[in-house]
Amino acid sequence: MSMTREQILELAEFHDEKACALSFYFQPQTPRNKAHKEDAILIKDLVREAQRGLENKGKKECARADLERIVQLSSELRSNGTQGTAIFACAARNFWREYDLPPQLPGTQIFVDRHFHLKPLAHLLSAMPHLGVALVDRHRARLFELRLGEFTEWEDLFRSLPRRGRSDGYAGYEAGHAQRRVEDEALHHFKNVAEALKTALDKGMFEKWILGCQDVHRSQLEPHLHPYVSQALLGHFHADLARVSKEQMRTKSEGIVKDWQSRRCRELVAQALEQARSNGRGVTGLRRVLRSLELGEVQSLMIGENFLAHAVECSGCGHLDAHLVSFCPVCGKATHEVVDVGEAILPWVIRRDIEMFYVKDDPEFDKVGNIAALLRYRSEQNSNVQSISSGSTNPPVRSRSAYPGRLRRFASR
C-alpha cells in the first residue's frame, strides 16, 4: 500500500514522551533465495540488540511487546522478499502502522526514540513529484499515477475521450477522402489527449508527467499541449502502448525522474549559494537554516547525504538550536540533545511541504556546511525567532488543491 501524505504527516507528528516510539525498516537481502534465513536471523539479532539497549537505559518494558511482534512477523516478511517494509509502533499508545515500500532502503534497521525515525522514508520520497505517466498511440491513451514504485491507472480520464472526432466536422470528407479522414481523426485524437492532460493537471491529479509513445506520435501530440502541460513534462520514452510492460514503464520513468531530480538539485544548490552570498533568498549553514525553518521562510531544503550534526530540542516548545544550550532561548524550558538534527527537522519539512533534496558529494556544498535552503521570502533580519512547533505561529498552510499543486515530495492524492 502506498503511503498518503496524511499517513506520513501522522508519523511526523507522533511523539512519545517516554521515548518508546519504535521504527522498523526491513530491506530484503539479495540474492533472495539464499538470504531468506539470513533476513530472519538479522531481524532477531536487531531485536535482541534493541531490547538490550533499552534494558541498559532501565526501560526494559518500553518497546518489548512491539519488538516481539516484529519477530513474529519476520517469517511473513521473508516470504514477501521482493518488497521493503516499514513498521511504526508504540504499544503503550496503541499505535501500529505497517507499510510496503520499494526495496531501496539503506538496510534493515530498528530505532526506538521520542519520534519515529523517518530518514529512510525521506530518502525515498524526497523531491519526488506527484507523477503521471501517459501512454499514447494513434487511437488510444492511458494515464497512470506512479507512486513509490506502484502504478495506478486513472481509468475514467481517457474513457471519456470520443473514439472518433466530432461527426459534424466530416461532412466534406466523404468517400474518396478516406486518407484525409484518417488524418483528421488522428488530429482530433491528439487534441483530445492534450485536453485531457490539461484537465488532469488542473485537477491536481499529477504535478509532473512522463510521456511514453512512438516518436512519430510524439511529434503529433506535442504541438497541441498547453504551455504549462509542456512545462510539467519531465521527459519521454519510446514505447508501444499495446506492448509495453509495467516493468519497462517503471524503469524508464524512474530513470527520467532521477535525471530530473539531479538537475533540479544542482540548480537549487547553485541558486541557494548564490543568493546566500548576496544576502538574498538563500541561507547556508545549520544555524541559519534552522532559523529560516522556524520562521517559515524555506521553500527548498538541501542537505548533504551524510550530514550529521548534533543540536538540542526544547521539551516545551520544540525549538531546535544548533548551540548545545541546556535551556531554551525561546521559552526557557529544559532542552534535550538531538543526535541527528537532519532527522529532527523532518517533521517540520513534512508538515510544511518543503521540497527537500539530499545532496551527494559536492565540495562546494560541503564548504558552506552541507546544509542550505532557498527561501520563499526573507523576513526581517531582526525579527524574533519563533517556535515552529506551536501551531499558532505557523503561517497558513497554502492550499494545494489547485494547479500547480506543489504537493511535492510527500504528495499524494
Q: How far, rounded to the nearest angstrom, does the alpha carbon of residue 195 sit from its chain's CA centroid?
A: 28
| Beta carbon nearer to Zn ion, 1 or 325 | 325
Give buried/exposed letters for 258-294 (b at 16+ CB in 10 A, else e): eebbeebbeebbebbbebbeeeebbbbbbebbbbbbb
Nearest distance from C-beta of residue 319 to Zn ion, angstroms: 4
Q: Which residues pair with 143 in a beta bridge?
A: 134
Nearest distance from C-beta of residue 288 to Zn ion, angstroms: 19
Nearest distance from C-beta of residue 223 to Zn ion, angstroms: 57
| Beta carbon nearer to Zn ion, 257 or 295 | 295
Consecutive H or E run containing 200:
helix 178-202
Order the strands of the 150-153 sheet from edge to edge: 150-153, 141-147, 131-136, 208-213, 233-238
Task: Tell me the CA distances in angstroms from 158 to 144, 150, 182, 356, one per residue in order.
Answer: 11, 20, 20, 33
Taking CB under 5 A as the binding criterion, the range among 37-45, 52-60, 75-83, 309-317 that sits at the site for Zn ion is 309-317
2: which DSSP letter?
A: P
Q: Does 81 bind Zn ion (CB under 5 A)?
A: no
| Beta carbon nearer to Zn ion, 178 or 325 | 325
| Beta carbon nearer to Zn ion, 164 or 287 | 287
In 3D space, the residue among 291, 313, 285 whose CA is nearest the CA of residue 386 turns out to be: 291
Nearest distance from C-beta of residue 389 to Zn ion, angstroms: 9
| Beta carbon nearer to Zn ion, 146 or 314 | 314
How far is the C-alpha of 1 from the C-alpha of 28, rounded, in Å?
17
Consecutive H or E run containing 155:
helix 155-159
Nearest distance from C-beta of residue 407 to Zn ion, angstroms: 31
Nearest distance from C-beta of residue 385 to Zn ion, angstroms: 10
- Find the binding residues for Zn ion in span 315-334 (CB under 5 A): 316-317, 319, 328, 330-331, 333
Number of residues that bind Zn ion (CB under 5 A): 8
Q: Where are the beta strands (DSSP E) in 42-140?
A: 84-90, 95-101, 109-113, 131-136
- Kindly write out the interface string for residues 139-178 of this chain, putting x where it contacts Zn ion by CB under 5 A and - elsewhere: ----------------------------------------
Nearest distance from C-beta of residue 394 to Zn ion, angstroms: 15
Checking DSSP bridges between strand 208-213 and strand 233-238, what pairing results, if any?
A: parallel
Residues of this chain that interact with Zn ion (CB under 5 A) are: 314, 316-317, 319, 328, 330-331, 333
